[in-house]
Amino acid sequence: MSYAFTKITQRLAKMINDKDQKLLMLLRQNARISITDLAKALDLSRSTVQNRIARLESTGVIAGYAVQLGGAFSSNQVEAHVSIKVAQKLTARTNSLLEGISQVSQLFSVSGEYDLIAILQARSLEELSAVLDEIGNLEGVERTNSAVVLETRFRR
């Protein structure tokens, strides 16, 4: 990690107070919540909440808003977390190949025995199995270990 990145990260961490943390939690729960409802929940004025959101967006704390799948569609999805061991010299290529697989919704670089954790979302166990085979056959992938999500207790 570079010195400049570390300084920026430390400065951003100091800019976030308890109200900002609660605001971020509320937005993670429902990014479409009204400014009025946010203001009530935070016991702040509407303009203060708008200013806080604008500041969090402009400083990069809030990078964007995303669609959260729900209802019948989400309950029919199969999710798995896949730990992936990668040949060190092929990491960049493997990351690029994984990015091209539409069922890979997130990819994390991690410490430990495995190098990456991919979050997969598929329409069926059969599709999930096919994607796991595809990942296992990618150039640079040495081995994988999968865990299928049985139930989501909560998501923020």
Whole-number percent of the chain with pLDDT over 70: 87
- Pull the structure tokens for residue 118: 């991919």
Is the pLDDT confidence value at 69 over 80?
Answer: no
For 16-124, where are the alpha helices, taking DSSP H only? 18-29, 35-42, 46-58, 71-75, 91-99
Distances (CA, A) of 76 to 104, 113, 124: 17, 32, 8
Task: List where CATH 1.10.10.10 sits in the chain.
Answer: 3-58
Is the pLDDT confidence value at 9 over 60?
Answer: no
Task: List where CATH 3.30.70.920 sits in the chain.
Answer: 71-148
Q: What is the mean pLDDT of the chain?
A: 89
In tens, the pLDDT along 31-65 reads 999 999 999 999 999 999 999 999 999 988 999 88
Is the pLDDT confidence value at 130 over 80?
Answer: yes
The matching CATH number, chosen from 3.40.50.410, 3.20.20.70, 1.10.10.10, 3.90.1170.50, for 3-58 is: 1.10.10.10
Q: What is the C-alpha to C-alpha distance for residues 21 and 26, in angstroms, rounded to an integer?
A: 9
Question: What are the φ/ψ torsions at residue 32 (nearest 5 degrees)?
Answer: -100, 10
Helix (H/G/I), strand (E/B), else coil: 128: helix
Quick one: pLDDT at residue 16?
A: 84
In this prediction, residues 100-120 reach a mean pLDDT of 96
Q: What is the C-alpha to C-alpha distance for residues 26 and 62, in angstroms, rounded to an integer?
A: 13
Q: What is the C-alpha to C-alpha distance for residues 81 and 147, in angstroms, rounded to an integer?
A: 5
Quick one: pLDDT at residue 103?
A: 95
Does domain 71-148 fall into CATH 3.40.50.1000?
no
Is the pLDDT confidence value at 72 over 80?
Answer: no
In this prediction, residues 99-115 reach a mean pLDDT of 96
For the chain, give the number of residues. Answer: 156
pTM, full prediction: 0.65
In tens, the pLDDT along 78-101 reads 999 999 999 999 999 999 999 999
**Which residues are bridge partners to 81 per DSSP?**
119, 147
